[in-house]
Structure 1
Amino acid sequence: MASRRWQTTCRCVVTVSAILVSAAVGIAGKGVLKLLKLDVPRWVDLRSSATLNCHFDTGGDSLYSVKWYKDEHEFFRYTPELNPKTLVFGLDGIHVDEEKSSANTVVLYPLTRNSNGNYKCEVSTDAPNFPTVVEESNLTVIALPEDGPRLDGVRDYYNIGEYLEANCSAIMTYPAATVTWFVNGIEVDSLLRQNYLPEKSEGPFFNTTVALRYPLKKEWVDMNKMSVDVKCTVKVADADVMVEEKKVKLRSVADHTLSQERHIYNSGAVITNYWMIVFTAFISHCFKAYN
């Protein structure tokens, strides 16, 4: 009798222990909330949209909410248990495209200069502890030039000794662009270029132009290639550099001048021969008339 009671007691202890271990394992396997990646572009064009992504893992727990902040002010909230699930708060510079926004993504369109700022994603899981993870990143709004760098005044051919004179412009940018000239891969010295003050255009935009006046001396060009690579770069804030380049061909002044001299000489020779013939005919006519 005592033996049976002992066996029953042992079975109960084993069963309870197994339940507790299973519960402990289950608890340990849940509740590990992680924010895997926050994807906020460093810069975005004022004329386009901005897509903010917040990737997270709830660790098996139920998602309570995802909140987005700009400069510590909440502007978007996603709560899966509510209807509607999304909620937008008015904020200067923020226009949320709700149809394209979700638990992981927020799309901003249109943008303004006030869309610049620090963006933060805050993710929380459900009761009882409501654990929360947060990450933030900065976004800068710029405007790239509408047509890229614009080259004006660059000809296809130049004579050695001439000046290569041209303008490079960045039109409708924000903020004002940095324009740089290169000849044969070398940045042009400030003495050979002229920086005009940026002009304000429509709205917040700027037009920036830098003029180039580069002497095509024999000592400064490759006389074997008889060509020059001209390049203009435009950089707006931290955006990628935009490039416009052109190869121009060179002609030797000496050969050109020699060709002109030969033409003049040949023209002169023809004229001289013509008048010699006329003079000879006239003398011959006079001689016959005299006789």
Structure 2
Amino acid sequence: MYLRVVKWLLLLSFGISVSSMSEVWVEFRAPRFVVHGHSATLRCNHNVDPETLYKVVFFKNSQRIMQYVRGRDPPYEFYNITGADINLIKVSPTSITLDRMDFSAAGTYACEIALEIPLYSKASKIHEINVIVRQKHRPKIKIKQEKLSPSGDLEATCHSGPAYPAPHLTWLINNVKVDERLTIPHGTMNVHRHHHGMPLAITNSSLKFPLSGLQIYPNHTVDITCLSTIPSYPTVGEGYADVQNQTVTVNLVRLEPSPTQLPVKIISDNTNNSCKMSFTSFYIMLLLVAQVLP
């Protein structure tokens, strides 16, 4: 009878716990981009009572890199990880810190928690971490025309500084993003520079923007900005992993139409009569000289 009661209580407890398992959540938190040689902290957030939590496992590319088991001595177990060092001082049951991250440390990461009573485990979603090399130089803009008319087109080119991966370029006119249909991407190109064996690349883009209809600044200028970023859009709570920009201010001039015919000089009547008298005097002088000569 006693065993039956104990078994019934265990089943009841198990049933209640399982019915509440749908409310358990697990979230892996880490930066999406890490600068080469820097550190990153990986966290396994959850809503399970620490006294109920039995095990936490961190994974990289589906392979274990750290495991915590409550009640064991020692509670932590570490596995090989390429491209980074686990900071043993900063480790906790739900977080680890990777130091001196190399390019091979990039990959997919996740974590999993487990309960002992009842037996239950739940994994987080996969999270991708990229190792990058920041740009050391601002992008460079070249304007095709030296003089711009308010009714003409603005044509320009831009190329980013070397980085890994190749940056994304965004054009802005007067601090407003340009419609991508007015830009022409020219892709990326590797440069003769490496960072710890990784080749760096630049990105090229051109722009043809109609100035007609654009609200010109009072001083008849237009600001052209080339924004060079990694990644192409900022992440929520992190912003850009790397961002550089250059802005060029262009003066607009009203270009006069070219003349359709050669200019004609208008001579007044007085000037015309004076020219006639000079010609007559010169002609009479020639006749006198002709008579004198044999």
TM-score (norm 2): 0.59
Query: Aligned in 2, Cα 1:67/1:231: closer, same or farther, shift over 3 Å?
Result: same
Shift of 1:152: 5.5
Aligned length: 233
- The aligned runs of 1:112-191 (5 Å cut-off) are 112-126=102-116, 130-143=119-132, 145-147=134-136, 149-151=138-140, 159-160=147-148, 167-171=158-162, 173-184=163-174, 185-186=177-178, 187=180, 188-190=182-184
Q: Distance in 1 between matches of 2:51 and 2:207?
A: 68
Instruction: Give the corresponding residue for 2:71.
Output: 81
- Structure 1 residue 91 corresponds to structure 2 residue 81: yes
Q: Distance in 1 between matches of 2:137 and 2:126?
A: 28
How high is the sequence identity, in percent, across the aligned residues? 14
Counterpart of 2:227 (choices 233, 244, 251) is 233
- The aligned runs of 1:49-88 (5 Å cut-off) are 49-58=39-48, 62-88=52-78
Q: Is the 8 A contact 1:231 1:243 kept in 2?
A: no
Instruction: Give the corresponding residue for 1:11.
Output: none
- CA deviation string 1:57-80 (max 9, x = no partner): 445864322111222211101123
- Structure 1 residue 199 corresponds to structure 2 residue 191: yes
Mark the runs of 5 or more structure 2 residues left unpaired by the alignment: 1-5, 235-239, 257-294
Q: Is the 8 A contact 1:124 1:131 kept in 2?
A: yes
Shift of 1:101: 2.2
Query: Aligned in 2, Cα 1:141/1:211: closer, same or farther, shift over 3 Å?
Result: closer
Shift of 1:30: 5.5
Query: Aligned in 2, Cα 1:44/1:196: closer, same or farther, shift over 3 Å?
Result: closer
Counterpart code for 1:124:
A
Q: Distance in 2 between matches of 1:206 and 1:98?
A: 33
- The aligned runs of 1:226-265 (5 Å cut-off) are 226-237=220-231, 240=234, 242=243, 244-246=245-247, 248-252=249-253
Classify the secondary structure of the residue corresponding to 1:114: helix
Counterpart code for 2:160:
S
Query: Aligned in 2, Cα 1:200/1:131: closer, same or farther, shift over 3 Å?
Result: farther
Q: Distance in 1 between matches of 2:222 and 2:133?
A: 28
Relative to structure 2, which stretch is displaced further, 55-64 or 105-114? 55-64
Instruction: Give the corresponding residue for 1:39.
Output: 28
Instruction: Give the corresponding residue for 1:8.
Output: none
Classify the secondary structure of the residue corresponding to 1:201: strand
Counterpart code for 1:246:
T
Mark the runs of 5 or more structure 1 residues left unpaired by the alignment: 1-18, 256-291
Instruction: Give the corresponding residue for 1:287.
Output: none
Q: Is the 8 A contact 2:216 2:222 kept in 1?
A: no
Q: Distance in 2 between matches of 1:223 and 1:77?
A: 61
Shift of 1:218: 7.3
CA RMSD of aligned residues (A): 4.3
Q: Is the 8 A contact 1:166 1:213 kept in 2?
A: yes
